[in-house]
């Protein structure tokens, strides 16, 4: 059991759900602070209580040994945490009986290349971002794919996102929504200076690199919302497919397009009388 215990509201609700969860499962770990190293934990399932941010943190806790994750939404939007707390009494017996599917989603790995050094790689579930940062002027970011120079973006930042991350920062920047099981990456500039710069979708089997020849003092690389490092001239940020994958428990009655429809408000209809 994992969750954002630093939020008192979520911690209280998580404790209230514990008797229900214990009724149907054997809990081998209970961590509401994201403190434990879960890379060697033996379990059939990880139940994450909170929102998508909690799932992000739990994924990084598990490292390269990912457990199937069921997200229970105690947060706000919840694209990944799409199970409501009041569904647990009905869902848990079905899950224990094997009435679920595990969908495997692409994850990436980000490495910072600094001269002859390759700094420790970081797992990526959502996205890798170069942000211009203070003094808040646009920067020129070079994009390379499989070693070939693609273009130079003059922008506030550049996002390379996985399909799972396409509904996160990339969506806010005007990027495309990718179905979660696609094997692809989306490249989305943030506020590009040239209007012809548009998001690009390409294969996950390619190697993507970003470089900033003249970074600002605050230009930084950010991975899944956490700063990796402040960039130096000639640094390269390399993003490629990872051998690990995110394993999401799909429960009966839930689907990807249902989630999009409900979370993005796609339920409206045109009124021909107006």
Asked if 127 contacts 165 with a C-beta cutoff of 8 angstroms, the reply is yes
The C-alpha angle with vertex 83 and arms to 70 and 61, in degrees rounded to 5, equals 30
User: How far does the chain reach from its first CA to its final CA, in angstroms?
Assistant: 50
Whose tokens are 């429809």? That residue is: 261
Question: Do strands 236-250 and 101-114 pair parallel, antiparallel, or not at all (unpaired)?
Answer: antiparallel
The C-alpha angle with vertex 166 and arms to 165 and 168, in degrees rounded to 5, equals 65
Total residue count of the chain as it appears in this document: 274
- Helix, strand, coil abundance in the chain, percent, nearest 5: 20, 35, 45
Residues 6+ apart with CB under 8 A from 150: 143, 144
Question: Do strands 2-3 and 46-50 pair parallel, antiparallel, or not at all (unpaired)?
Answer: parallel
Say how far apart CA 217 and CA 105 lie, in whole Å: 35
**Catalytic hit among 7, 37, 52, 205:** 52
Say how far apart CA 215 and CA 12 lie, in whole Å: 44
The C-alpha angle with vertex 34 and arms to 30 and 37, in degrees rounded to 5, equals 85
Is residue 52 annotated as part of the catalytic site, yes or no?
A: yes
Q: How far is CA 247 from the centre of its chain?
A: 12
**Catalytic residue numbers, as ranges:** 52
């Amino acid at each position: 059991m994992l969750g954002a215990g630093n939020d008192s509201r979520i911690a209280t609700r998580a404790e209230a759900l514990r008797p229900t969860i214990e009724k149907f499962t054997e809990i081998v770990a209970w961590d509401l602070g994201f403190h434990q190293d879960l890379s060697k934990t033996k379990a059939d399932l990880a139940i994450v209580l909170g929102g998508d941010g909690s799932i992000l943190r739990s994924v990084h806790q598990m490292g390269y040994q990912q457990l199937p994750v069921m997200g229970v939404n105690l947060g706000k939007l919840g694209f990944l945490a799409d199970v409501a707390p009041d569904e647990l009494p009905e869902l848990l017996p079905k899950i224990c009986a094997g009435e679920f599917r595990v969908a495997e989603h692409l994850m990436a790995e980000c490495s910072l290349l600094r001269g002859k050094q390759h700094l420790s790689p970081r797992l990526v579930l959502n996205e890798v971002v170069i942000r211009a940062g203070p003094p808040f002027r646009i920067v020129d970011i070079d994009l390379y794919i499989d070693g070939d120079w693609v273009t130079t973006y003059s922008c506030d930042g550049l996002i390379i996102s996985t399909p799972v991350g396409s509904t996160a920062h990339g969506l806010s920047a005007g990027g495309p929504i990718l179905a979660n099981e696609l094997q692809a990456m989306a490249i989305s500039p943030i506020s590009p200076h040239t209007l012809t710069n548009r998001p690009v979708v390409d294969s996950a089997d390619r190697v993507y690199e970003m470089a900033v020849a003249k970074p600002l003092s605050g230009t930084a690389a950010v991975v899944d919302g956490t700063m990796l490092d402040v960039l130096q001239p000639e640094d390269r940020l390399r993003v490629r497919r990872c051998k690990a994958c995110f394993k999401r428990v799909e429960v009966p009655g839930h689907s990807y397009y249902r989630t999009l429809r409900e979370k993005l408000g796609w339920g409206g209809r045109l009124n021909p009388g107006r």
